[in-house]
Amino acid sequence: MSEPEVIPFEPAYTDSLCSMLSSYYNDDCRFRLTEERIAGICQDLLDDGKRSGLCLYLLTQAGIPDGFCTLIPYAASSPDDALSGWILLRDFFIQPEKRRKSLGTFLFHAVAGRYQKSGARGIYLTASPPALPFWQSLGFLPYRTDSEYVLSRRLS
């Protein structure tokens, strides 16, 4: 088995991304979305990257995507903004058959390392209840006392 690799999204992987989004929304989230709606979400995700600075990374093994994540660097409205230097981890997905093989941990550490090197202060996210143990195992803690699902972790 080849080593996993984290790469920035490339257009050649659009079909794979749409397939993973279908699994994420229809299986994990239990929505029932048509292929047309999934294609629209995929296109919106790619368009968001152009508009909002969203960064999309793929986890691949032997050139085959097994997961993805999207992150948005927080644009501070002022230098004193409390979230200045923080990154929002918006989406995170590993193919179901590849879970529990440390690939999610690998993807997180690879992406977090890139942002830490660029000076990011931390990462925050909203976790679903089943994902809380995974994120807590990576050192995430509740960001606010009024929400157990909004988590954060300092990078520096």
CATH C-level class of 4-8+55-154: alpha beta
Q: What is the mean pLDDT of the chain?
A: 87
> What pLDDT band is residue 43 in, cutting at 50, 70 and 90?
confident
pTM equals: 0.86
Residue with tokens 């977090």: 112
3-class DSSP assignment, residue 106: helix
pLDDT at 79: 60
**Over residues 36-56, mean pLDDT:** 82
Q: Rounded distance, CA 105 to CA 93, Å?
A: 11
pLDDT at 148: 73
What would the pLDDT profile of 74-126 be if each residue is shown by its tens digit? 765 556 667 778 999 999 999 999 999 999 999 999 999 999 998 899 999 99
> What pLDDT band is residue 146 in, cutting at 50, 70 and 90?
low
pLDDT at 77: 53
- Residue partners of 21: CB distance under 8 A and separation at least 6: 38, 41, 42, 45, 93
